[in-house]
Amino acid sequence: MALSKVNFNSLNLTPTASKTVVFNSNNNGIEAGDVGGSLNLISTSTASSSATIDITSGLDSTYKEYIIKFINIHPATDSVHFLFQGDTGTNTSYNQTITSAAFRAYNYEGSGTPTLQYYASGDLDQDTDFHYMTGNSGVGNDSDQDFNGTMHLFDPSNTTFVKHFMIDTHSHGPSNYTMRFFAAGYFNTTTAITRLRFKFSSGNIDSGTIKLYGVS
């Protein structure tokens, strides 16, 4: 006997944290389906007059994409750049070869001259230096000045391809400017990247939080 009517009030269609309700492949029924792109918190690091913040665990083959969030990062020293580098776990030098491209967009309070341009000082060309995450004069250390943003790291455990990253950050600069910084590039290694280090170009990280997420 064909079913002619369904009482949806009697069905439990409540999604879970990792599932949603979708039509099946034949479009004649419903089933639980995977939800893409959910963030899974792996670790939280809080600075307190810290020389560096290091992520030394949690970057593995569990996820194909990781997101690092920077929240209210405040420097102890004025006019400093926020930097990062990676490591394969075989040493603690944090000196992987990086190639990247960078842009900046900024505007000073009351100047009326906003600018968007390629930022050659913020990229690397097969270099092992720490990579910029800020532009111009970096981050100010007045009480209301700080650094925030996001970094994406893709498939760091892959041993076939280089390790791509993308950066989108914002900082409040020492001369009262707003700075948006964009960069993308790759660690030029097929060895797994298992660690990340973050620091200012001079002085300590006075305060702030860094959160590591895996994207499922």
Residue 155 banded pLDDT, cuts 50, 70, 90: very high
Q: Scanning the structure block, which residue is given the tokens 């990792």? A: 18
Average of pLDDT values for 68-96?
Answer: 94
Neighbours of 51 (CB within 10 A): 13
Pairing of strands 205-215, 39-50: antiparallel
Nearest Cα to Cα of residue 48 among 25, 84, 72 = 72
d(CA 9, CA 121): 61
Q: Report percent pLDDT > 70 for the chain.
A: 83
Average pLDDT, the chain: 88
d(CA 1, CA 4): 9
Residue 26 banded pLDDT, cuts 50, 70, 90: low
Q: Scanning the structure block, which residue is given the tokens 């569990």? A: 62
Q: Is residue 126 within 8 Å of 162, Cβ to Cβ?
A: no
Average of pLDDT values for 133-151?
Answer: 95
The answer to whether the Cα torsion of 14, 18, 23, 26 is positive or negative is negative
Residues 183-192: tens digit of each pLDDT: 999 999 999 9
| List of domains in the chain | 39-215 (2.60.120)
